Structure 1
């Protein structure tokens, strides 16, 4: 179906959208608009005419200003653009990975990850991002994480956190927990006996992430059977940290606590 009316006015012209955002901030003359976009009057005038006809903007004396209708549309249109920009910024990450284990309420709030970037390792240095991970963990005073994978260096690392009395809460999948329990029993006991640690087990989940008071880092699967060890989505702003904490709480509700082995 061909788009008509207001939808086409805003979605099929970058310039019309930008004019509306400009006039949201303050009224402007034609000269102001022309200078702002560095265009000639013949280039910008048809766009302004279309927006006047659709009651998005109005002219008062020599200035153009946004209408109440235009302001109402901007209020709802901006979040839509923000989520599009969030996805496009790391488009291949979202397109190539399995998202089935991210709960819908957090997918609906994907805009919180707008400032995140993908950290990718080369095939030759597949665990290079682990250095970044460790550096950020060492700066953190509270750590929450979910792991559906086992990395050989992690048991010693987690025991180190326990000995440093860093509040740490971990959720392991059943398979990862069994591997740690069978192959690293003494280290697991040290972790469980520490005063500031918690361990939970969940049946299965196809993602891995850590959320601290310093950073959020998440890795995903290409599909439910194939983990991607190269790409991590990493963020440091308050919105990403909150999103990661909420993701942890989602899985905490589905987990059972381990107090001894």
Structure 2
């Protein structure tokens, strides 16, 4: 019995990967072998099945998506990304509170690619990892949302701004008040810096702490109890950076600039 298009697309990861590869344009057999790092014979059957469903065609010896194949694959790509993201670390994601992410970005959360979950050792729970600091120090710009007070960031960001790094920070009210109480001098220094822009976020729903630079996306999504459990995601893929930047802009747009320190 001939399989349905639904089964052809979703019941085989290999067929799905072929469709996604061809979404970038036509490929010859050698390019497909290189992309998947496999022998050509392992691609013959899935390609045959895709051709039978008229999702793929191969005029003049190259493979490309048919019109219907392109339409289906373009719509399947976001779902495939979500499945890859949640399937890799299911235990982590089912325990995350994601309601503060706007719907248009939540629907595209699969654009977070190749992420790792960083969980510090007990003795290092309140320390910033050396490799993380190294990435931050080598960034041209930093966009951050501070919804958790962390004493290490103000002096680090002040130092980086002094060295020319462009920095934008969205602070929640609780973090802003804590900094005024505990880090008043550093807060004044940050506000007086020409390279740092501060924004105050007053919405009821607390956003997740996030950091986006030109080469890093990091987020600390709260768990379902609304608590920070020191489990952060990190990614260096361009797709993740773009998604994270859009998330930062969403919170920044909902915040107000903080022009000067208020006593």
Give the TM-score band, short-chain normalised.
0.7 to 0.9
**Distance change (3 Å), C-alpha of 1:202 and 1:25:** same
Q: How far is 1:81 from its partner?
A: 2.1
Q: How far is 1:149 from its partner?
A: 0.7
* CA RMSD between the two structures: 3.6
Q: How far is 1:156 from its partner?
A: 2.2
CA distance in 1, matches of 2:156, 2:143: 14
Q: How far is 1:133 from its partner?
A: 2.6
Q: How far is 1:49 from its partner?
A: 7.2
Structure with greater strand share of residues:
1
The aligned residue for residue 244 of structure 2 is: 244
The aligned residue for residue 32 of structure 2 is: none
1:105-160 CA distance string (max 9 Å, x none): 11222232112222222333324553233111111121110011112222322332
Q: How far is 1:224 from its partner?
A: 5.1
Are 2:143 and 1:139 aligned?
A: no
Are 2:233 and 1:228 aligned?
A: no
Contact residue 190 and residue 196 of structure 2 kept, 8 A: yes
TM-score, with length taken from structure 2: 0.76
CA distance in 1, matches of 2:79, 2:103: 17
Q: Which runs of 5+ in 2 are unaligned?
A: 30-38
CA distance in 1, matches of 2:169, 2:135: 17
Over alpha carbons, which structure has the higher Rg? 1
Q: Which runs of 5+ in 1 are unaligned?
A: 28-34
**Structure 1 SS opposite 2:6:** helix
TM-score, with length taken from structure 1: 0.77
CA distance in 2, matches of 1:207, 1:18: 32
Contact residue 119 and residue 129 of structure 1 kept, 8 A: no
CA distance in 1, matches of 2:4, 2:154: 60
Contact residue 20 and residue 77 of structure 2 kept, 8 A: no
- How many residues are treated as equivalent by the alignment? 247
